[in-house]
Amino acid sequence: MRPGATRVVAAAALTLYVLGLSLPPMAVRAGDGGNVTVGLGAYATQAHGALAADERPPPPTYRTAAALTRAVPTNQWYSSVVFQKWGYPLYAHPMTYRATDKGFEIGLPDRHAVSPDAFQREIEYAHVAALTVAPAGFTPEDARIANFADWMVKLRFGAPGGDPALDVTVLHGSPFSYFDCTSGDVRITFASAAGLLVDPRTAGNDPRVLAVTVGGHSYALFGPAGGEWRIDGSQAATLHLPVGKGYFSIAGLPDSDPKTVHDFLAVAYAFPVDTRAEFAYDEAKSTVRTTYRVQTVAREGDSVATLMGLYPHQWSALAAPLTTRYRYDSLRGPIRLVAGNEFTTTRIFHGVLPRWPGLKDPGHRSPVESLLTGDVAKSDELFMHQMGHGTYWFGKALGAEAQLLGVAEAEGKNGARDELLHALEHRLQSWFDGRHANYFLNDKTIGTLVGLPQEFESYRSMNDHHFHYGYWLNAAANVALRDPAWGAADHWGGMVNAMVADIATDERGRADFPYLRNFDTYEGHSWASGTAIGGPVMMFGNNQESSSEAVNAWAGLILWGEATGNRRLRDLGIYLYTSEIAAVNQYWFDLDHQVLGSDYGKPFAVQVFGGKFSYNTWWTEEPHQMYGINMLPFTPASTYLGTDPKYLESIFAALPAEEQHYHRHGNIPSHPPPDDIWQDALAECQALADPAAALAHWNKQGSVENGETRTHTLFWLSSLVEMGTPDFAVSADTPLYAVFKDAGGNVTHLAYNARNTPLHVTFSDGATLDVAPHSLGEGKSGGR
């Protein structure tokens, strides 16, 4: 316990705010060791038993007083700054930065293809300092986060006591870094001999502007009016700052044309003070519209216009066309600069479902029902045979049981459905009641609700909460869709809402949880590492491996929001789900061939970092698992994996060669997994392009992935054989829907009604469905 804390924790009780749902003050359960009740559940405010220091997160020391009023921004591209005196590199794209004891480093990275061994492959854009900015009049003792917004962060290099200070603001997509120095001059050192591109001492040139070329890239430095540049040979320059004008900016340039410097000068003094991504889901059109805005103030002159760098996933979804004169090569593909302070994207939301309909062909239905009987009887084994008992492995078992529940309901096996439903409720409650060895802890110091025992450093490093909790949210939603009283906030839903708050609080500036903990609003995907510190690999910034488990989390939000009538949460889930899928298709799968490149030579990125992407996992080089980690778990929300059937055909055609290469050159463990490991996950993904081939390849007696059952795999494969593959050309005016088309042109329209009144659904191809409350509607049309 912290000094001064007591075991009376009423004042420390967490006031949950979950997407428009304000919960009443929560009582402390007397004699329960600091448990705080939430509906029928409870979380702890102190660990049940002592935790070693290395089991807890490092202290979030490096924040200014202003930042201390807000929850710690873990799991972001800049999070390492919070936990170390001098943080790891920051990958803002196209620029890279790092706070060091020598000053603030700035670089424009270059592309390098690397082979760590004979099997792995990486594309790296590593941070290499070209310029280092430091105050000349004082020596900072550390760098701290002073402010942060949706894709912007301000760091403060402060002298002991915090004053004087050098502040620097950087943001995604911008070539600029913005500085304020409260005292004295600043010195800029160059990593190698700098060539003068624009000399402020030359008659006719703007005396505020210095431009140099260092290490093959050009940079422009914009001082204030009345400032003076003193150039010290080719290795350094000093900017004399007049009293009251401690501001300046530095930009990495897309080329070495002096005209470009002039264009950048026009926006160099519009300093950002806030960034926001605001979304709106249009249910009638099934679209998600997102507007990205940068708020600026003019530090010189009156122009507040800036330049925004659009990533490929943003450029391809613009609501209205924009023009660009400048672009940068980056790890994420081309970053295109546009003039202005905002832009808007529009995407189609292709729907999710809690389950699919029952099989029609008796030849398909009979073997599924046979497997179902056995899998229901041994459902306890899903939990007994996992590799751990924390929130990840327990969550995977919950997810498998929830999908099994959906199969039982689809096939009309109501007894099995009810048995699985009650089992899911009991298993969730065994964690939620706060009375067992497995429980949830609210740590106010870091601002989290974390399950203990931890897995994959989910507490120590704040890793993977969205991966873990996605399984729980899907399971809880499947319960609440069938037992609404269970999901009420004053029953067990209160604890589910607490988990939601940990990963998806949608209010900025709160003290209990950070805004969208894992999600990067500008890059459009999530980050897995909480502290973003660790071994040498973290020199490449934050990372995410299992993009499909991130998608699973946001699908869980959609279903939970719809099941509990919380449309604000549902719409947030739709935004996150749609955004994450767009980023995955761009940066993991590279469906439009802008990112991976011919020098990579692999079919997809397995891991995506701030400064690299790689063909490798954290634990193995085995190809089945490298394929499957960005596919599983398989739920009705996984159909996005079939966005491009030809792409799927190509990667599965490449799999045999990958297997052969691995067996010749891979790092094979002394106790290797079975040769068909994750064969079910691979078959389920292949079925989204070629259901018949996938069903033929799957071995009913073969390996079963830990979050899967034979019943669900066969049901999935057989369903796609009957319905065909996803048809993304058709949308609907309700969130819980899906459309499939078979080779003969027969179209299956599906919609689920989680509400208490009948639902009329209209699809964009003109088809309609009338769906009874709490049921799945199905319609057929077309064909030859």
The residues annotated as belonging to the active site are 464, 545, 549
* Beta carbons within 8 Å of 84's beta carbon, 6+ residues apart: 62, 533
Q: Cα–Cα distance between 627 and 649 in angstroms, integer?
A: 13
- Give 7-14's long-range contacts (Cβ < 8 A, gap of 24+): 7/33, 7/34, 7/46, 9/34, 9/36, 9/45, 9/46, 12/45, 12/444, 13/45, 14/43, 14/45, 14/442, 14/444, 14/449, 14/498, 14/512
* Beta carbons within 8 Å of 411's beta carbon, 6+ residues apart: 358, 359, 365, 368, 369, 372, 715
Structure tokens at 83: 């936990």
The DSSP secondary-structure symbol of 512 reads S
Structure tokens at 778: 């199905």
Report how far Cα 177 is from the mean position of its chain's Cα atoms: 25
**DSSP code per residue over 191-211:** SSPPEEEE-TTSTTS-TTEEE
Neighbour-count burial for 330-355, b at 16+ CB within 10 Å, e otherwise:
bbbbbbbbbbebebbbebbbbbbbbb
Report how far Cα 727 is from the mean position of its chain's Cα atoms: 26
* Beta carbons within 8 Å of 495's beta carbon, 6+ residues apart: 38, 39, 41, 42, 43, 432, 440
Q: Cα–Cα distance between 37 and 20 in angstroms, integer?
A: 20
Q: Cα–Cα distance between 444 and 2 in angstroms, integer?
A: 11
Using DSSP bridges, classify how beta strands 131-135 and 103-107 pair: parallel, antiparallel or unpaired: antiparallel
Helices (H), 446-566: 465-482, 493-504, 547-563
Helices (H), 584-644: 623-628
Sheet holding 112-114, edge to edge: 112-114, 122-124, 612-614, 607-609, 543-544
* Beta carbons within 8 Å of 115's beta carbon, 6+ residues apart: 121, 122
318 beta partners: 345
Start-to-end CA distance of the chain, whole Å, equals 71
Neighbour-count burial for 226-258, b at 16+ CB within 10 Å, e otherwise:
ebebebeeeeebbbebeeebbbbbbbbbbeeee
Report how far Cα 119 is from the mean position of its chain's Cα atoms: 27
Residue of 501, 380, 458 whose CA lies nearest to 43: 501
Q: How many residues comprise the chain?
A: 784
Using DSSP bridges, classify how beta strands 165-171 and 176-181 pair: parallel, antiparallel or unpaired: antiparallel
Handedness of CA 599, 601, 604, 609 (dihedral sign): negative
Q: Cα–Cα distance between 355 and 358 in angstroms, integer?
A: 9
Q: For the packed helices 567-583 and 547-563, what is the interaxial angle rounded to 10 degrees? A: 160
Backbone dihedral region for residue 177 (phi beyond 0: left; psi -120 to 50: alpha; all else: beta): beta
Q: Cα–Cα distance between 495 and 488 in angstroms, integer?
A: 10
Q: Cα–Cα distance between 492 and 758 in angstroms, integer?
A: 27
**Which residue type occupies 335?**
I
Q: Cα–Cα distance between 771 and 352 in angstroms, integer?
A: 16
Q: Cα–Cα distance between 380 and 391 in angstroms, integer?
A: 16
**Which residue type occupies 279?**
F
Tokens 């890239």 belong to which residue?
217
